[in-house]
Chains A and B, each alone.
Chain A
Amino acid sequence: VSAAALAVLLFVLAALSKSRRLQGVGATLGLGYLVTTGHVFLVFGYLLGLTVEAEDLARITPGLTPLITFVAGWIGFSVGIAFHGRVLRPIPRRAFVVALTPALVTAVLVSASGWLVMHLFGVTWPESVAAALVLGGAAAASSPTLAAAIRRRRGGRLRTLAPTLRLLQFTAGLTNAVTIAFAAAGFAVFAYGFGELPPLMWLGATIAVGVATGVATWLFLGGPSSDDERLLLGIAMIAFGAGIGTWLRLSPTAISAIAGAVLVNLPGDSSELFRRTLQRIERPAVVILMTVIGVYIAGMASWLVLALIGLMTVARACVLIATARRVGRALPLSAGMSAEADWAFGLIPQGVLGLVIALGFMRAWETPHAMAVLAAVALGSIVNELAATRAMREALGLGARRSTTSSEMDSGASKGGSGGRAVTTGDRENE
């Protein structure tokens, strides 16, 4: 496909998007939601990637590495900074069990199946184990954007659903911890492949670097600084922590997530200001990430990719829903949360965290198998996001007339974010 063909295609799509009938179809499919989550840029990147020659991509890639590493770190940081002890402490333990069990079970089962699939396709140790862990981590992630958007737009009108949506947001945020843990483990196994240190030492290094970066950021933030200076400092610290991760072949996202979690739990309220300042670059970060991933996976088609997509969509959804239903039924909740009305369907949206981890893994390993993992996670996430809109509508009993339109999702975007802020009972969003 030539660049000219892409231009024509985009022009035609832009023209078609003006058609009311097609807008209606788009709303029914939840395409507006894909703009909010950034997945539409994944598709754009995919189309763009078809026009880029392999040599050109190889020439541009080194220049993009710092940017990709930074974006990976930024998303990790925004995930970590949501794990605020002060907010999490009052939440009953039972809610943690309900929220974490489906993610953990899904991560373990998808990892195991992923390893088996890769083994069958001839992928050897340690790559197969590392890739399987990354795949499992990506499968565990759920995005709170959809729940946040519905809650923001309809929370007042659909009071009965509010506890379910609150649980979904809480769960989606908490599952990020499982994703981060699996990613850290996957990268530790990967780094071990170079024969320098055992995996446990690499895990220790991930935690140590994350903690050191978080403490250093906290110390810096204690001094007086303007909004612009905080932005500079934020970019600096994220690039530094994530950069150390890339240097050591560890997960930049995991290191930054640990740094964020450490920062937010140290005394003082500077981290809240810091979080708000960093939000200035949230959207560019997500869009860049999605486009780059799209470019990388353009034209990727193999039986391995197909098998892994199956794991990331059908198998993931089945395990998530089955586990979530069972746990939800077994453990009644309080604290304004409820696991009713088929809440498990709300866990299907995948978000960006899994994607960023898979991208980091692909950039570190640079093998066809790592590329296959990235392609499976990315393409699977599009399927998951599309399925999520419909599934949520059915599960929460939102009629077709009140379907989730693009305008609703757009207005909910700023509240949904990349996922990190949802590790709350949602009360902060109401304030």
Chain B
Amino acid sequence: MNLRTRSVLDQIVHQVLPVTLCLGLLIWLRGSNLGVAGLGPNSTTVAVGFLLIGAFVGGKLAARVGLPRITGYLLVGVILGPYGSALLTTDMMAARSTLDGVAVSLIALTAGGELKLDWLRRQIGRLAIITAFELTTVMVGVGSLVLLGANLFPFVPAGDWSHALIIAFVFGAIAVTASPTVTIAVIADTRSDGPVTRTVLGVTILKDVWVIILFATAITVAKNALGESGAGNLGLTLLREIGGSIVVGVGFGIGLSQYLLRINREVPVVLLACCFTIAELSTAFHLEALLVALTAGFWIQNFSRADGNQLISAIERVSLPVYALFFAGAGAKIDLGSIGPILPLVLLTVVVRAACVFAGTRLGMRVAGVEPQVRRYGWLGLISQAGVSLALASIVARAFPGWGTEVQVLIIAMIAVHELVGPIGFQYALRKSGEIGKATSPDTH
């Protein structure tokens, strides 16, 4: 038996066969009408289990063909989810939101812990310049596309320039967003470290804060200009979310660092409890869980005597299942079918946004004087979009029920593309810049 045949046989026995067995069980379960019949939280665990089985196989296959594992997880989610094969229904996924909240908090805690103040102090000027250039270029570029190509976008009123300008402003503000979770997950998965890794992570996080301010401004201006009620309130609320998240994050950071310093037992358990609390508090008080956890991680790493690496190490022990669950779940929310009718428009917007990201980042990096490989590949790490954009789009839909809903549809379609393409681009950048596998384990620090 030659090597190739053996490898194919191995795959059949160790992947196809068990997946078929599990698939058969799930299909039997759904068809049997026994038990809770797929309704409510009692059916979520089996959905999560099958999603993770799919992620295990999907991640391996993606890695084999040189794609990021995250792309594999996302695709598995798309295939198994309610909009794909509908093997896992919306009902079955209902109780996943708590797990999502915990996952986002864990991912953000790692990101905060990875941001070293020394490095930030040295690089903050550069990061600010790159962020400013990228942000402005994307906002102006994508906004101009909406404004100048008004007849292509069904939600832009023909001939009403002031109205069109406001919609372009809001749309541009959302187009600016990137996905810190995708960035962190790709870095963790590929164990990368180096100038490209750190610059992309720094810019993504800095942008995450600025985007919320920019969006708050855009939505306030839009509401005022269009005579909608509650204009000031919404802007203030969004700004309060940032301030509140940072304050609460510092609180968690102090609490966790004191725990690490004084008690330092059951660290993984306390971390899980903390992330659960962050997720629940953020939902209850309309804070951004990502920002809360990020601030907490940053505080522990940079402002406390506690060993931040110990924290990262505790999270990294369970990071793969967390990422797999989070991204496969995110994939299950992607409705590729909705892209069909507006595919040309989606592709046009995606291409223009990518061109703007490229131009803005390159320009910013040239002005900031960063290393050549960062200048060459850094922009590829800023393509992905996910949760933040989705949240902002739903705010627009709620605030402007007419055109806002149509904007939301287009944004969701764009996110679907960016979510799938973004990790591939970033991993390519990391590979080309030779930073994959360069990260040292926190334990060895």
Contacts from A to B (Cβ < 8 Å): 60, 62-67, 69-70, 73, 191, 196-197, 209, 212, 215-217, 219-223, 225, 228-229, 231-233, 235-244, 246-249, 252, 280-281, 283-284, 287-288
Interchain CA distance A240-B43 in the complex, whole Å: 10
- Scan residues 163-216 of chain B and give those whose CB is less than 8 A from a CB of chain A: none
Residue of A191, A240, A249, A288 near B272 (CB, 8 A) is: A288
What CA separation (Å) do A282 and B12 show in the bound complex?
Answer: 32
Is B437 located at the chain interface by the 8 A CB criterion?
no
Question: A192 vs B34: C-alpha distance in the bound complex, in angstroms?
Answer: 11
Contact: A284 with B99, CB < 8 Å?
A: no
Chain B residue with Cβ nearest A246? B42
Q: Is B155 part of the binding interface, using a Cβ–Cβ cutoff of 8 Å?
A: no
Whose C-beta in chain B lies nearest to the C-beta of A205? B34
Contact B53 A249 (CB under 8 A): no
Contact with A along B1-19 (1 / 0, CB 8 A): 0000000001101110110
1/0 contact string of B283-322 vs chain A (CB within 8 Å): 0000000000000000000000000000000000111110
Instruction: Judge whether B441 is part of the interface by a CB distance below 8 angstroms.
Output: no
With A65-B95, A223-B15, A280-B318 as contacts: A239 and B35 at CB distance below 8 Å: no
The docked-state distance in angstroms from the alpha carbon of A232 to that of B50 is 12
B98 within 8 A of A: yes
A284 touching B35 by the CB < 8 A rule?
no
Does residue B44 face the partner (Cβ distance < 8 Å to A)? yes
Contact, CB under 8 Å: A220 / B52: no
Known contacts A236-B55, A240-B53; A219/B36 CB under 8 A? no
Distance between Cα atoms of A219 and B317 in the complex (Å): 24
B17 near A219: Cβ-Cβ < 8 Å: yes
Q: Can you report 19 residue pairs joining A to B where beta carbons are below 8 Å apart?
A: A63-B41, A63-B97, A63-B99, A66-B41, A69-B42, A69-B45, A215-B18, A219-B14, A220-B18, A222-B14, A236-B52, A239-B52, A240-B25, A240-B53, A242-B49, A247-B42, A247-B43, A247-B46, A288-B272
Interface of B is mostly: helix
Complex contact B45–A212 (CB within 8 A): no
Q: Is the CB of A283 within 8 A of B43?
A: no
Name the CB-closest residue of A to B22: A216
The distance in angstroms between the C-alpha atoms of A90 and B175, with both chains bound, is 68
Q: Is the CB of B29 within 8 A of A247?
A: yes
Q: Contact at B13–A244, with CB atoms within 8 Å?
A: no
Contact across chains for B46 and A246 when beta carbons are under 8 A apart: yes
Interface size of B in residues (CB-CB distance below 8 Å): 49
A244 vs B50: C-alpha distance in the bound complex, in angstroms?
10
CA distance A242 to B48 in the complex (A): 11
What 4 A-B pairs have minimum CB-CB distances, sorted nearest first?
Answer: A243-B46, A240-B49, A63-B98, A223-B14
State which of A197, A232, A239 has its C-beta within 8 Å of the C-beta of B34: A197
CA distance A238 to B43 in the complex (A): 14
Which listed residue (A65, A229, A242, A244) contacts B29, Cβ 8 A?
A244
**Interchain CB contact under 8 A, A220 and B56:** yes
Q: Which of A66, A235, A244, A247 has the most CB of B within 10 A?
A: A247
State which of A196, A235, A243, A246 has its C-beta within 8 Å of the C-beta of B321. A235
| Residues on the A chain within 8 Å of B15, using CB | 220, 223
> Closest Cβ of chain B: how far from A405's Cβ, in Å?
16
Chain A residues closer than 8 Å to B96, beta-carbon distance: 66
Q: How far is the CB of B22 from chain A (nearest CB, A)?
A: 5
Cα-based distance from A232 to B268 in the complex (angstroms):
17
Which of A209, A212, A280 is close to B317, meaning CB atoms less than 8 Å apart?
A280
Residues of chain B within 8 A (CB-CB) of A242 are 45, 49
Q: Give bound CA distance, A229 to B15, whole Å.
A: 13
A239 pairs with B56, CB closer than 8 A: no
Point out the residue from A67, A73, A217, A232 that lies within 8 Å of B52, measured CB to CB.
A232
Does B47 count as interface, using CB distance less than 8 angstroms?
A: yes
Give A236 to B60 CA distance when docked, in angstroms.
15
- Kindly state the separation between the CA atoms of A347 and B13 in the bound complex, as whole angstroms: 43
Partner of B318, one of A219, A231, A246, A287: A231
Per the bound structure, the CA–CA distance linking A281 and B315 in Å amounts to 12
Given A66-B98, A232-B324, A242-B45, 5 more pairs with CB closer than 8 A: A232-B56, A236-B52, A243-B50, A247-B29, A249-B35
Residue of chain B at shortest CB distance from A250: B35
Q: Is B65 an interface residue (CB 8 A)?
A: no
- Judged by a CB distance under 8 angstroms, whether B38 is at the interface is yes
When the two chains form the complex, which single residue of B49, B98, B317 contacts A237, counting CB atoms closer than 8 Å? B49
Distance in angstroms from A207 CB to nearest chain B CB is 14
How many Å from the CB of A140 to the closest CB on chain B?
26
1/0 per residue B317-348: CB within 8 Å of A? 11111001000000000000000000000000
In Å, the complex CA distance between A223 and B17 comes to: 12
Most chain A C-beta atoms within 10 Å of own C-beta, residue among B14, B15, B42, B43: B42
| Residue in B10, B17, B40, B319 whose CB lies within 8 Å of A62 | B40
Q: Are A240 and B95 in contact (CB under 8 A)?
A: no
Q: How far is the CB of B439 from chain A (nearest CB, A)?
A: 14
Given contacts A216-B18, A283-B266, contact A229 B35 (CB under 8 A): no
Q: Which residues of B contact A70 (CB under 8 A)?
A: 45, 48
* In contact, A288 and B269 (Cβ under 8 angstroms): yes
Residues of A within 8 A of B317 (CB): 280
In the complex the two chains form, what is the Cα distance from A70 to B321 in whole Å? 13
Residues of A within 8 A of B17 (CB): 219
A287 to chain B, nearest CB (A): 5
How long is the Cα–Cα vector from A233 to B54 in the complex, in angstroms?
A: 10
* Nearest CB in chain B to that of A63: its residue: B98
- Taking a contact as CB atoms closer than 8 A, the residue among A212, A229, A288 that contacts B56 in the complex is A229
Inter-subunit contact B324/A64 (CB<8 Å): no
B18 pairs with A219, CB closer than 8 A = yes
